Amino acid sequence: MLLTVETTKTPAQLREDLSKACAAHQFGVLGIHDLGAKLKEKGVEFSGEALVFEICNPHQAKKVLDAHPELSTALPCRISAYRGTDGKTRLATIRPTRLIGLFDTPTLRAVGQEVEEALEKIMREAVQ
């Protein structure tokens, strides 16, 4: 279900590197959520690191929305940069092919595959 890439970089280092990799593949970063900071802001102790990047390729998003507007519930794509309980940093995303598959939309399989391939390239470039 998940596409995961391990790295020696910290989630903070990935903030810039992932943004650059997204731009190189025609994806924009719509927002970055620092979950650790947000939890602390709400009075919840969290010792880990987790950043969630909301990213989008507008051309691919339009294909999805034109075919099935209800799939807007699955947009934008998200990539998480987090430090696992084992101390290792990873990038992870839900595979678009699996996510689209949940909606039984065979007409969008090719879009899901294209987006998944792009996300994998983005993640692998960001961790270099």
Q: Residue 75 sits in a domain of what CATH number?
A: 3.30.310.70
What pLDDT is attached to residue 103?
Answer: 86
Task: Provide the number of structural domains found in the chain.
Answer: 1
What pLDDT is attached to residue 57?
Answer: 98
Per-residue confidence band for 71, with pLDDT thresholds at 50, 70 and 90: very high
Kindly report the backbone phi and psi dihedral angles of residue 90, in degrees, each rounded to the nearest multiple of 5, phi listed first. -140, 155
Read off the pLDDT of each residue in 59-85 and give the average, rounded to a whole number: 94
| Domain span at 78 | 2-127
Read off the pLDDT of each residue in 36-63 and give the average, rounded to a whole number: 95
